[in-house]
Structure 1
Amino acid sequence: MRLLILRHGQAAAGAVDAERPLTELGKDEVRWMVGRRREDLAGVRTIWSSPYVRALESARIVADSLGLEVHEQPLLVPNARMPELVEALRAADIESLLLVSHQPLVGNLVDSLSGGNGALGTASLTCLESDIWAAGCCEQRWVEHVRLG
């Protein structure tokens, strides 16, 4: 099974955290990542997103390019409980899944599942592979950080 994890693009300041939208730069970051990793994203069949505005906007950019729908997942908020999220991954039994979420959750998830590099900047994307979703049982195949300009 393959799990792609995308941190949302740059968000605007000054609003309630859950309501912060992407900036124009944030949208460009996500579009850049979609273009850069189009082949890797092509295998995705399901997209789960945090219900926070900036994550949903990021997920919709990816979904529009792949012709997929975004499924809001309350377990993807910044400080979600890791055991519940890992159990949801196990129960979903999805061959190729994209999660769109926030720090510290994305970093903690990568660290927990693979012991890999969970330091994801805005619009960074990483790929984990595993036969089972459990602590230390995944391999981090790659991580890509945005390089605009």
Structure 2
Amino acid sequence: MDLILWRHAHAAPGMPDSERPLTKKGRQQAEKMAAWIKPLLPKEVRILASPFRRAQETVQALGMAFETVDSLAQGRSPQSILTSVNWPAGAGTVMVVGHNPALGQIAALLLANTEEEWPMKKGGIWWFTHDEETQQAVLVAAMSPGLL
């Protein structure tokens, strides 16, 4: 199984938190990342997004079908997110568009087996695969909009 974590792009401040839209910078970040990742995605990728507006607007830059999943909303635990995507037992590739600190915590769990809050750039993507032979997560790629 492959797991792609995509943190939402830069959003405007405001309340309620769930309704914060992307800024102009955020829209540019999302478009850059979508242009980079889209040609690399397998045909059968499953794309899941938080219901929060900033995550929805980020994933829309891909121009691909996606599912809105309440369990990906801000404040969810890393383990609940991993369970909802069936990591590592699932098949194929799953992309999760969501929020920190949960996405950074997932990366820490997968790579270091620790419950730390690793920073993740807004609009950034971390791509993991599960190595069947070693039963470990392997980082395939990490990209941020500033590097594109």
Asked if these proteins are the same fold (TM beyond 0.5), I'd say yes
C-alpha displacement at 1:106, in angstroms?
A: 0.7
Q: Which residue of 2 aligns with 1:121?
A: 121
Equivalent residue number for residue 108 of structure 2: 111
Does the Cα contact within 8 Å between 1:76 and 1:105 map onto a contact in 2?
no
State the one-letter code of the partner of 1:107.
Answer: G
Instruction: Return the alpha-carbon distance in structure 2 between the equivalents of residues 146 and 42 of structure 1.
Output: 21
**Cα distance in 1, alignment partners of residues 136 and 147 from structure 2:** 33
Map 1:15-94 → 2, pairs under 5 A: 15-43=15-43, 45-62=45-62, 64=63, 68-90=64-86, 93-94=90-91
Change (3 A) 1:85 1:146: same
Distance of aligned partners of 1:25 and 1:42 in 2 relative to their CA distance in 1, 3 Å threshold: farther
1:13 aligned onto 2:10: no
TM norm structure 2: 0.83
Runs of 4+ in 1 over 4 A off after TM superposition: none
Deviation of 1:39 (Å)? 2.8
Q: TM-score, normalised by structure 1?
A: 0.83
CA RMSD of aligned residues (A): 2.5
Structure 1 44/107 Cα, relative in aligned 2: closer, same or farther at 3 Å? Answer: farther
Once the two structures are superposed, what CA deviation does each residue of 1:2-50 show, in whole Å capped at 9, x if it has no partner?
A: 1111101110112211110111110110111122233323546211001
Structure 1 CA distance for aligned equivalents of residues 42 and 34 of structure 2: 10
Identity of aligned residues (%): 22
1:98 maps onto 2:83 in alignment: no
Instruction: List runs of 5+ in structure 1 lacking aligned partners.
Output: none
3-state DSSP of counterpart to 2:97: strand
Cα deviation, residue 58, structure 1: 0.6
Q: 1:44 touches 1:98 (CA, 8 Å); kept in 2?
A: no
Distance in 1, Cα, partners of 2:44 & 2:145? 20
Q: Partner of 1:90: helix, strand, or coil?
A: coil
The whole-number CA distance in structure 2 between the counterparts of 1:4 and 1:77 is 16
How far, CA to CA, are the matches of 1:38 and 1:55 in structure 2? 17
User: Any stretches of 5+ residues in structure 2 without a counterpart?
Assistant: none
